[in-house]
Chains A and B, each alone.
Chain A
Amino acid sequence: MANIFALITGLIFGFGLALSGMTHPEKVLGFLDVAGQWDTSLLFVLCGAVGVTVVSFRFITKLKAPVFAPIFRLPESNAIDKPLLIGSALFGTGWGISGYCPGPAVALLASPNWELWVFLPAMLLGYVLHWYLFKPQAQKSAAAAPENTKAEPPTCG
């Protein structure tokens, strides 16, 4: 059942991304380009999205369990550490260069052009690089953790 809702919520998410203008990398760059003709419209995407989650998540986190799963899977770390800062800076650099972030890169499979066929494989390569560089650590911590957490992905992003 949860799987069906994964599909449905993904569908709403993808429609929202496309409607909002986030799947236009040039529009994203227009938003990030404060020194050019600054296009502020994408500020409203963030406001709209966070405006909803900041209210709804307050109520949801008070529930004992989600509807179709035994527990909520929240990120374990609250640390503001080097990986967070360096990772976010690297992501910001890539985002600011091309105007693509992961969600729109996936959504654009609905209307791919040559840019996506360069960006998307490169992005996946980035995930693979990270996995092989940091996998030993992940396995170590997974081995130390209870068994059922072993196959658990990083719960964020």
Chain B
Amino acid sequence: MALSNIANALLGGVLIGGAATLFFWLTGRIAGISGVIASLLFFKERLWPALFLSGIVAGAAIFYALGGSAPVPRGSFPLWLLAFSGVLVGFGTALARGCTSGHGVCGLGRLSLRSLVATLTFLSVGLLATFVVRHIFGVV
């Protein structure tokens, strides 16, 4: 594994944590993406969620415009499996009220036991799901 991968991962993580810090300090809100999406979809205050999510798209766009690599679609990944996983991610994060950002980055930062349990749960189930899909069903 290239050292630059680790450096990018670490620096990217610090930026994510830094953004979550600024967001919390300035607006008093937790920068959890699934919560922000739910706000945009279902609640009256739509301006700040729309701006925050637009910022995320713009930030990624800047990275790609500067020559950062964007993902290439997998050739053989089954469409129905992708759709199924999308519904699970949406429904699951709504039910658990948090995803990798809300429970992972912010919840762990607040030393929340609830978020620690959530993070350990989705990480361990994620490991298992990847194992089953890749090594038992042979989907890559």
Contact = CB atoms under 8 A, between A and B. Distances in A.
Contacts of B58: 7, 10-11, 14, 110
Given A25-B71, A102-B89, A126-B94, A45 B127 contact: no
Interface string B106-121: 1111111110011101
Contacts of A90: 88, 91-92, 95-96
A131 B130 CA distance: 28
A13 to B, nearest CB: 4
B55 A14 contact: yes
Given A17-B60, A23-B70, A66-B24, A122 B48 contact: no
A45 B17 CA distance: 9
A124 B15 contact: no
Nearest to A93: B129
A142 to B, nearest CB: 11
B19 A10 contact: yes
A39 B127 CA distance: 13
B22 A5 contact: yes
Contacts of A156: 30, 32, 35, 97-98, 102-103, 106-107
B114 A44 contact: no
Given A48-B11, A156-B102, A2 B26 contact: yes
A153 B121 contact: no
Interface string B57-100: 11111111000111111100101011111111111111111111
Interface SS of A by simple majority? helix
Contacts of A67: 25-27
A54 B58 CA distance: 27
Contacts of B110: 53, 57, 61, 74
Given A73-B29, A95-B122, A48 B96 contact: no
Contact of B56 (A26, A89, A107): A107
Contacts of A12: 15, 18-19, 22, 55, 59
A136 interface: no
Contacts of B69: 24
Contacts of B63: 14-15, 18-19, 110
Nearest to A57: B109
Interface of A: 2-26, 29, 32-36, 39-54, 56-57, 60-61, 63, 65-75, 77-80, 83-98, 100-103, 105-111, 113-115, 118-131, 134, 151-157
Considering the complex of A and B, which 4 residue pairs feature the smallest CB-CB distances, nearest first? A126-B90, A10-B55, A48-B13, A20-B12
12 contacts: A9-B55, A17-B60, A52-B13, A52-B17, A52-B21, A65-B28, A92-B123, A98-B86, A100-B85, A102-B99, A107-B57, A157-B33
